[in-house]
């Protein structure tokens, strides 16, 4: 039997090239396994070999998607792989978009199975899960030791050409496909059983999961901006130098509140970003690029707005869970409302 070949995709960080300062690098190819590909190859237990590892900067992919895909496709095609693997991306948004986008493209163009791994809140998941197999992972790379063995199990099945079991059992995300299964009870009987369990407040599992989306009603427009108090809120990590509240650079669990009374500008010597998800050079050079206090002060002096609120709120958005984000929003919103704030400028990256 011919050797089963695997091509692996990773970003600049997992390729040991660098962090954000190297996020601009175009795709490059290394023969053999590198980074997490080495770990996965071990879990394949001789059933497949990583013949090449492709590395691409997260910024380069997301800013030059068309060119990146074209280059990566040519790199992959020449190896004629039996499986393409990307990631795992955990909850890294740009990395997830790259893994999902490249993986979907490879599946469609080469008609081979594709495997990745992501956290359930990764933005790359939604657009790719119908085309590729995505293992459920933890929030951060700290869970790599749990992610790679599971990816190895799925990879071996895909290389053997075996059909995967139901997503929950395999630990992968559903792809939205309907599969015929046989049951000793018809649909009406099963539905009544689930209904009775619900009445008795017993645990049950639905056969049709319906997504639930937040519905947020837009606030009424401010009638007179010249009398309004406007606050600044930021998920770009701008805060006083030294990070006095030790806000995390990713997967934040807290936010900060800082006074800007009498301050007309965020200056480089006193403010910085701690955000770990983008190149901080331009934000640190002029923090107003992320949090536009200077422009709001101009509006205040011109009478276009009533005044700027005396405090600004800040946190880091990259990798931060939906649960914590919702908590931040409720707590910050409550404080702003109590302070009589009429509107908020919410900036990100």
User: Is residue 119 within 8 Å of 139, Cβ to Cβ?
Assistant: yes
341 SS3 class:
coil
Ranges 48-52, 181-185, 197-201, 254-258: which has the least confidence: 181-185
CA dist., res. 90 & res. 239, Å (int): 26
Sheet of 49-56, strands arranged across: 28-31, 49-56, 5-11, 83-90, 114-118, 133-136
Token pair recorded at residue 332 = 């910050």
Identify any residues that bridge with 11 across adjacent strands, giving them in sequence order: 56
Query: Does the pLDDT value for residue 1 go beyond 70?
Result: no
Task: Please enumerate in sequence order all residues whose Cβ is within 8 A of that of 199, keeping only pairs 6 or more positions apart, or say none.
Answer: none
User: Is residue 69 within 8 Å of 97, Cβ to Cβ?
Assistant: no
Are both 149 and 229 inside the same structural domain?
no
Specify the DSSP element, H or E, that contains 51: strand 49-56
The reply to whether 219 falls in a domain is no
The reply to whether 313 falls in a domain is yes
Write the CATH number for 20.
3.40.50.2300
324 SS3 class:
helix
The mean per-residue pLDDT over the stretch 234-247 comes to 94
Are both 140 and 240 inside the same structural domain?
no
- Torsion angle (degrees, nearest 10) of CA 75, 81, 83, 86: -20
DSSP letter at 87 equals: E
Percent of the chain at pLDDT exceeding 70: 99
Are both 165 and 61 inside the same structural domain?
yes
Handedness of CA 10, 14, 17, 18 (dihedral sign): positive
Are both 166 and 237 inside the same structural domain?
no
Are both 55 and 138 inside the same structural domain?
yes
- Closest residue by Cα to residue 235 from 324, 299, 305: 324
The mean per-residue pLDDT over the stretch 110-130 comes to 92
The reply to whether 122 falls in a domain is yes
The reply to whether 209 falls in a domain is no
Query: Does the pLDDT value for residue 208 go beyond 60?
Result: yes
At 45-87, the pLDDT tens digits run 889 999 999 999 998 998 899 999 999 999 999 999 999 999 8
CA dist., res. 207 & res. 194, Å (int): 10
Specify the DSSP element, H or E, that contains 71: helix 65-77
R_g of the chain, CA atoms, integer Å: 24
What local confidence, expressed as pLDDT, does residue 161 receive?
Answer: 92
The reply to whether 9 falls in a domain is yes
Are both 110 and 232 inside the same structural domain?
no
The reply to whether 200 falls in a domain is no
20 SS3 class:
helix
Full-model pTM: 0.68
Specify the DSSP element, H or E, that contains 239: strand 238-240
Are both 150 and 62 inside the same structural domain?
yes
Ranges 48-52, 89-93, 193-197: which has the least confidence: 89-93
Task: Please give the backbone phi and psi of residue 176, each rounded to the nearest 5 degrees, phi first.
Answer: 80, 20
Are both 90 and 15 inside the same structural domain?
yes
The reply to whether 182 falls in a domain is no
Total domain count for the chain?
2
What local confidence, expressed as pLDDT, does residue 64 receive?
Answer: 93
Are both 119 and 236 inside the same structural domain?
no
DSSP line for 138-190: -SSGGGHHHHHHHHHHHHHHHHHTPPP--HHHHTB---S-------SS-HHHH
Task: Please enumerate in sequence order all residues whose Cβ is within 8 A of that of 250, keeping only pairs 6 or more positions apart, or say none.
Answer: 140, 276, 277, 316, 318, 319, 320
What local confidence, expressed as pLDDT, does residue 2 receive?
Answer: 59
The reply to whether 66 falls in a domain is yes
More confident residue, 163 or 309: 309
Confidence bin at 207 (pLDDT 50/70/90): confident
Which domain range does residue 37 map to? Answer: 5-170
Are both 144 and 271 inside the same structural domain?
no
Are both 143 and 10 inside the same structural domain?
yes
Neighbours of 214 (CB within 10 A): 6
Are both 157 and 242 inside the same structural domain?
no
Handedness of CA 64, 40, 119, 251 (dihedral sign): negative
Token pair recorded at residue 3 = 């050797």
What local confidence, expressed as pLDDT, does residue 285 receive?
Answer: 94
């Amino acid at each position: 039997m011919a050797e089963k070949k695997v091509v692996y995709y990773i970003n600049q960080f997992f390729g040991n090239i660098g962090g954000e300062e190297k996020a601009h690098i175009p795709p490059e190819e290394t023969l053999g396994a590198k980074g997490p590909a080495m770990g996965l190859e071990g879990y394949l237990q001789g059933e497949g070999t990583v013949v090449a590892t492709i590395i691409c900067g997260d910024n380069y992919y997301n800013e030059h998607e068309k060119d990146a895909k074209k280059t990566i496709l040519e790199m992959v095609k020449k190896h004629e792989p039996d499986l393409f693997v990307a990631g795992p991306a955990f909850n890294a948004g740009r990395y997830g978009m790259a893994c999902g986008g490249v993986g979907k493209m490879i599946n469609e163009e080469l008609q081979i199975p594709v495997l990745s791994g992501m956290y359930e809140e990764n933005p790359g998941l939604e657009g790719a899960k119908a085309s590729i197999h995505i293992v459920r992972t933890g929030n951060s790379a700290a869970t790599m030791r749990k992610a790679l063995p599971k990816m190895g199990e799925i990879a071996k099945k895909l290389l053997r050409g075996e059909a995967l079991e139901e997503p929950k059992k395999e630990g992968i995300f559903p792809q939205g496909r309907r599969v015929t299964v046989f049951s000793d009870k018809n649909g009406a009987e099963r539905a009544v059983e689930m209904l009775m369990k619900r009445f008795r407040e017993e645990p049950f599992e639905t056969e049709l999961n319906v997504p639930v989306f937040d519905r947020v009603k837009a606030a009424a427009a401010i009638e007179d901006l010249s009398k309004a108090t406007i606050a600044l809120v930021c998920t770009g990590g701008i805060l006083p130098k030294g990070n006095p509240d030790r806000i995390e650079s990713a997967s934040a669990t807290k936010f900060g509140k800082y006074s800007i009374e009498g301050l007309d500008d965020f200056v480089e010597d006193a403010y910085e970003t701690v955000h770990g998800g983008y190149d901080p050079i331009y934000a640190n050079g002029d923090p107003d690029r992320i949090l536009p206090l200077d422009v709001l002060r101009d509006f205040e002096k011109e009478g276009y707005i009533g005044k700027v609120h005396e405090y600004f709120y800040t946190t880091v958005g990259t990798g931060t869970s939906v649960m914590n984000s919702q908590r931040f929003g409720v707590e910050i919103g409550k404080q702003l409302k109590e302070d009589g704030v009429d509107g908020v400028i919410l900036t990100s990256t």
